[in-house]
A and B are shown apart, each in its own frame.
Chain A
Amino acid sequence: MKTKLRTSKFLLLGILLISLVSLNILIVSGAAQNTYCAERTTNGAWCQNVPLSKVDQNFRYAPTSCESTSYCKLGTCVDSQEGTCMENTPQITCELPEEENKGGVWFDSEVEDVPQCNLGCCILGEQAAFVTQTRCKQLSSLYGLETNYRTDIQSEFACISTATSKEKGACVFEKDFEKNCKLTTRGECDNIGEDAEFHEGFLCSSEKLGTNCGPSEKTTLVDGKDGVYFVDTCSNLGNIYDANRQNDKSYWEEMIGKEKSCGFDDLNGNAGSSTCGNCDYFLGSTGKKYSRGDDPVKPRFGDYICRNLGCEYLSESFQHGETWCAPSSEDGKNLPGSRYNRLVCYNGEVSVEACSEFRQEVCIQDEINGFKTGACRVNKWQDCSSQSNQQSCENTDKRDCTWTTLSTENDDDEENKKVEVCLPKFAPGFDFWNPESDAESLCSLGNNQCIVKFEKGLLSGEYECTENCECLDGGWAEMQNRMCMALGDCGVAENYLGYSGYNQLDDLISVAEYHEESKSSSSSGSSKGSAFSSSSNKGSAF
């Protein structure tokens, strides 16, 4: 007897194992049959996992994932001429022998492990770039500069901070029996002539130098700089425009840095100031030619002013560089077809950056010292419906869900039915029009059944509702619909443009059957509105 039992146990276990293995084989072979690694697809894309119908069979292909092929392995492509490195690149696109194209060099490793892609600080005149050594050589040669590459600087911020303007000064030289002057570097001054004298840090308007250049009321803009600058009578650059010091001879003597100039601490970068040209792009201003329509005041001297780069959007002011969120649809309802948007204010213009469609991304926003920053991030709604308690439901590290109490909103407390559920904080969108969509199955999570019990009166002989009577009220159906809508594009709703969906509330309520018992009758089947009804709410897709 015992042996028989043991044998049957082994048999069962064996059958289970065999079925598991065969199921696995089926899944694997099924997957392999479905997708191929195509070196090139019919629409010209390289190295994609696609069905056979999309494979360009003139190129290599195999019924496996591209990760496991040799011909579509991803690595790093180095352009040895330009010194750039591109990630996630298949060998074929890197070394493509397209006519005269000098192909790149492909490495079977991540960009961090390719020595040619190590970054350093490249000093390019008064600017700096955090690039590879080859790139630095290329850029230096293109701009006609000597290569100055520093491997000791290992961050982009430190690199850019290193970029300082070359020491400039007044270069004084004789021309046509006059003492002329040019504001330049020492190197350039030496090229002017042997008799040229370089005075580091001095302006050409300096009285000490006794040149033919002097102060003027003219101002100008300088390429690569934000501010407005004075210009002397010889068209040489002076210090930052400061109307209060135009007549101050000492202001025309030596070069004064930005930090020691007017309005350095101004929080708006002197935007719209008629007297100070110490503009700052990062604080929201830059030097521009004065325009009556764009600038509030006219500069006291010259034609240039620090222009405010902030934006106006829906009667609200935003600072230059601020980013913020726009709700997916009015009143924050996540209506079908809507998506979250991030708005960006730069250079006085507002641009809209949409987050992913189907509300698979939401926009989040924060504010530090009144400066708004918004960003799109993934909407983690997928496992909300499987959470059974508030703590796990509202664990924001893992998911974007909310523990919700839904009620029929009936004034009569006794009749008020409350349901506690975990629902997505940001209802996702579904492609319910697509036959392959999982919208129906996701919306079916909102399906519910309410059994209404009726009892026949002994004297009257009429049926009276005794249990779950609130389900007969329209409030229950509305409550169920609110839950459907919170699940995603389910239930009855208008889309973000105000058009109604396929269903009306009545379409979502179906009545099952009814059983007549000896003394009481429980609802089950009849049309809606009849006395004996058990309503079942169907979470249909929008």
Chain B
Amino acid sequence: MKKRCSSSDFVINKRILPKSKFSTRFSTIYQLDNFFSSKRSQITIFVIIAIMIIVIGVLAYLFLPKIQTGFGVSTNNPNVFIQNCMSKSLSETIEKISLQGGSLNPGNYILYQNEKVEYLCYTEEDYTQCVMQKPLLKNQIENEIKQNLVSGKTSCLESLKKNFEAQGYNVDIQPGDSNVEILPGRVEMNFQNVLTLSKDSSERYDDLGAVTNNNLYEMIGIAGSILNMEARYGDAETTVYMNYYHHLKVEKFKQDEGSTIYVISDRNTGEKFQFATRSIAFPAGI
């Protein structure tokens, strides 16, 4: 039978060890061992740990609003609830759309690093300028984001309802559409639903929604300028944009069959927007 090592074993060992660094360490362990063996001391330790846990919990609740719902702790602010519920899917949708040339399901695309990248200016022919495929790119991306988040919005409103009903509120959510806006430095999703919470009094919320910080607005603007260059000259000079926008990196990757991939990325945040073009393509031979 295996013998478990008890604190008294250390004490015995300590006695036979010569006086050295090890013996000093064992002496400390021995003192701690005595301390832990006292019941009163143990209670004190437990009380201190309990107080620490409570303090950390309170601080986290006050200063980290994201944790509130993340850990299943309910919130009594519907705006915060929706922000927490929608922000992840909003960010993920934007990221995906940005890597696919502004489309969630690209139709006319080229595969680049396992991503389907949509052609925003395209011609099937050689030696001819491309035809603009999405001239209202910002509007179309806003619409794509909105479409992709319809189900997410519904489930967030449902869980909001459950959450507040569990807190004793009477919850009324009026049906409504939503609106996505790409703005400088951020993307906003605004619900057009009206939420009424009633308990002792009644509260009305008509500005529910979520916001995520993103530089998509600036990148779409640059993409538009590159597309105009492609439509006119069949090529675009990337360094022009890097001279004006110091924090941006604009890269051009020529692919097979006359296609070009443009990648606009933010050096500080790592956010990317990429799209494809095919304009004034030169085939092999004459």
Chain A residues packing against B (C-beta within 8 Å): 41, 43-50, 54, 66, 74, 77, 79, 81-82, 84-90, 93-94, 96, 98-104, 111, 142-143, 226, 281-282, 286, 321, 323, 339, 344, 346-347, 349, 351, 353-358, 360-361, 376, 378, 382, 428-431, 434, 437-439, 442
Q: A86-B224, A282-B243, A430-B284 are in contact. Are A142 and B183 (CB under 8 A)?
A: yes
Q: How far is the CA of A47 from the CA of B134 in the complex (A)?
A: 12
Contact of B132 among A50, A77, A81, A378 (CB under 8 A): A77
Q: Are A281 and B246 in contact (CB under 8 A)?
A: yes
Q: Which residues of A contact B122 (CB under 8 A)?
A: 45, 48
Q: Are A89 and B135 in contact (CB under 8 A)?
A: yes
Measured between C-beta atoms, what is the minimum distance from B286 to chain A in Å? 5
Q: Are A103 and B136 in contact (CB under 8 A)?
A: yes
Q: Are A47 and B131 in contact (CB under 8 A)?
A: yes
Q: Which residues of B contact A355 (CB under 8 A)?
A: 254
Q: Are A431 and B124 in contact (CB under 8 A)?
A: no
Q: Are B238 and A358 in contact (CB under 8 A)?
A: no
Q: How far is the CA of A439 from the CA of B284 in the complex (A)?
A: 8
Contact of A101 among B108, B136, B253 (CB under 8 A): B136
- Identity of the chain A residue whose Cβ is nearest the Cβ of B118 in the assembled complex: A44
Q: Are B228 and A87 in contact (CB under 8 A)?
A: yes
Q: How far is the CA of A442 from the CA of B251 in the complex (A)?
A: 34
Q: Sort chain B's interface into a size bin.
A: 35 or more
Name 25 interchain pairs, CB-CB below 8 A, sorted by A.
A41-B108, A41-B124, A43-B108, A44-B107, A45-B133, A46-B133, A48-B125, A87-B132, A88-B231, A89-B131, A93-B132, A93-B134, A94-B136, A104-B136, A349-B249, A357-B256, A357-B282, A358-B283, A360-B283, A382-B286, A428-B285, A430-B284, A430-B285, A439-B284, A442-B286
Q: How far is the CA of A125 from the CA of B243 in the complex (A)?
A: 20
Q: Are A48 and B124 in contact (CB under 8 A)?
A: yes
Contact of B286 among A47, A353, A438 (CB under 8 A): A438
Measured between C-beta atoms, what is the minimum distance from A371 to chain B in Å? 13
Measured between C-beta atoms, what is the minimum distance from B215 to chain A in Å? 14
Q: Interface code B119-158, partner A: CB below 8 Å = 1, 0 otherwise?
A: 1011111000111111110111001000000000000000
Q: Interface code B232-249, partner A: CB below 8 Å = 1, 0 otherwise?
A: 100100110011001001
Q: A429-B284, A439-B284 are in contact. Are A88 and B130 (CB under 8 A)?
A: yes
Q: Which residues of B contact A85 (CB under 8 A)?
A: 228
Q: How far is the CA of A41 from the CA of B140 in the complex (A)?
A: 20
Q: How far is the CA of A142 from the CA of B186 in the complex (A)?
A: 11
Q: Are A87 and B231 in contact (CB under 8 A)?
A: yes
Q: Are B224 and A84 in contact (CB under 8 A)?
A: yes
- Identity of the chain B residue whose Cβ is nearest the Cβ of A226 in the assembled complex: B246
Q: A93-B133, A346-B239, A358-B284 are in contact. Are A44 and B143 (CB under 8 A)?
A: no
- Identity of the chain B residue whose Cβ is nearest the Cβ of A339 in the assembled complex: B254
Q: How far is the CA of A46 from the CA of B221 in the complex (A)?
A: 22
Q: Are B232 and A87 in contact (CB under 8 A)?
A: yes
Q: Which residues of A contact B138 (CB under 8 A)?
A: 79, 82
- Identity of the chain B residue whose Cβ is nearest the Cβ of A76 in the assembled complex: B135
- Identity of the chain A residue whose Cβ is nearest the Cβ of B253 in the assembled complex: A354
Measured between C-beta atoms, what is the minimum distance from B235 to chain A in Å? 8
- Identity of the chain A residue whose Cβ is nearest the Cβ of B177 in the assembled complex: A100
Q: How far is the CA of A103 from the CA of B121 in the complex (A)?
A: 18
Q: A45-B122, A84-B224, A429-B284 are in contact. Are A356 and B239 (CB under 8 A)?
A: no
Contact of B131 among A74, A323, A349, A356 (CB under 8 A): A74
Q: How far is the CA of A115 from the CA of B282 in the complex (A)?
A: 34
- Identity of the chain A residue whose Cβ is nearest the Cβ of B139 in the assembled complex: A101
- Identity of the chain B residue whose Cβ is nearest the Cβ of A322 in the assembled complex: B239
Q: Which residues of B contact A47 (CB under 8 A)?
A: 131
Whether B168 is near chain A, meaning CB under 8 Å from some CB there, is: no
Q: Are B285 and A101 in contact (CB under 8 A)?
A: no
Measured between C-beta atoms, what is the minimum distance from B112 to chain A in Å? 13
Q: Which residues of B contact A438 (CB under 8 A)?
A: 285-286
Contact of A344 among B239, B256, B257, B284 (CB under 8 A): B239
Q: Are B135 and A94 in contact (CB under 8 A)?
A: yes
Q: How far is the CA of A82 from the CA of B130 in the complex (A)?
A: 23
Q: Are B249 and A353 in contact (CB under 8 A)?
A: no
Contact of B254 among A48, A81, A353, A434 (CB under 8 A): A353
Q: How far is the CA of A351 from the CA of B267 in the complex (A)?
A: 14
Measured between C-beta atoms, what is the minimum distance from B150 to chain A in Å? 12
Q: A45-B119, A89-B131, A353-B238 are in contact. Are A100 and B284 (CB under 8 A)?
A: no
Q: Are A49 and B140 in contact (CB under 8 A)?
A: no
Q: Are B232 and A88 in contact (CB under 8 A)?
A: yes
Q: Are A99 and B143 in contact (CB under 8 A)?
A: yes
Q: How far is the CA of A77 from the CA of B132 in the complex (A)?
A: 9
Measured between C-beta atoms, what is the minimum distance from B140 to chain A in Å? 7
Q: How far is the CA of A142 from the CA of B283 in the complex (A)?
A: 44
Instruction: List the 4 closest A-B pairs by CB distance, nearest first.
Output: A44-B107, A360-B282, A86-B135, A88-B231
Q: Which residues of B contact A84 (CB under 8 A)?
A: 221, 224
Q: How far is the CA of A360 from the CA of B258 in the complex (A)?
A: 10
Contact of B129 among A88, A96, A226, A282 (CB under 8 A): A88
- Identity of the chain A residue whose Cβ is nearest the Cβ of B120 in the assembled complex: A86
Measured between C-beta atoms, what is the minimum distance from B192 to chain A in Å? 12
Q: Interface code B254-265, partner A: CB below 8 Å = 1, 0 otherwise?
A: 101110000000
Q: Are B139 and A102 in contact (CB under 8 A)?
A: yes
Q: A49-B125, A344-B239, A347-B249 are in contact. Are A88 and B284 (CB under 8 A)?
A: no
Q: Are B131 and A48 in contact (CB under 8 A)?
A: yes
Q: Are A431 and B285 in contact (CB under 8 A)?
A: yes
Measured between C-beta atoms, what is the minimum distance from A35 to chain B in Å? 9
Q: How far is the CA of A202 from the CA of B184 in the complex (A)?
A: 33
Q: A41-B124, A77-B132, A101-B143 are in contact. Are A361 and B282 (CB under 8 A)?
A: yes
- Identity of the chain B residue whose Cβ is nearest the Cβ of A139 in the assembled complex: B184
Measured between C-beta atoms, what is the minimum distance from B256 to chain A in Å? 6
Whether B252 is near chain A, meaning CB under 8 Å from some CB there, is: yes
Q: Are B124 and A351 in contact (CB under 8 A)?
A: no
Q: Are A321 and B184 in contact (CB under 8 A)?
A: no
Measured between C-beta atoms, what is the minimum distance from A487 to chain B in Å? 11
Q: Which residues of B contact A46 (CB under 8 A)?
A: 131, 133
Q: Which residues of B contact A378 (CB under 8 A)?
A: 282
Whether B227 is near chain A, meaning CB under 8 Å from some CB there, is: yes
